[in-house]
Amino acid sequence: MVLFARYANNTVGTPCHEGWEDGGDPVKETIFRLPNNILVQDHYKLPNIETKTTEISKTLDMTADEDAFALNFFSGYKGSGFPPSYSVSVSKYINPQIGELLEGRSHCGVCIVDFASAELVNTILEANQ
């Protein structure tokens, strides 16, 4: 188990508070590298599902190309429209695409997923072997 500390003055875990960008802007892409060389994609407030899928894929490419340690958030919610969507509605579209996004990859980093099934977990584990 590895703990990441996203808050200043935290005495437990790998310090990640410096440089961690807030993914709450629906328009701004949120892929960044922390000072300790951890690659992060954490865009959680989305204009649409396609944006999230593109950012996930781009981060997977960066992870493979650079052999980086990556935290790739597959979770999020759409911030526009009424009523606003929640993580379950985004995962309903993202999770079935994960197998295709991971196909042919051998180094994916940490894939953070909402509502993962046993099959989905196995897909992620197989892609990281």
pLDDT digits (tens, 9 = 90+) for 67-100: 678 999 999 888 766 566 677 888 999 999 999 9
Q: Choose between 72 and 46: higher pLDDT.
A: 72
Q: Answer yes or no: pTM beyond 0.85.
A: yes
Which CATH number among 3.40.109.10, 3.90.1150.10, 3.40.50.300, 3.20.20.190 corresponds to the domain 23-127?
Answer: 3.20.20.190
Burial (CB count <10 Å: 0-12, 13-18, 19+), residue 104? exposed
Tell me how far apart the alpha carbons of residues 87 and 78 are, in angstroms, rounded to a whole number: 8
Residues 39/9, Cβ–Cβ less than 8 Å: no
pLDDT band of residue 7 (cuts 50, 70, 90) is confident
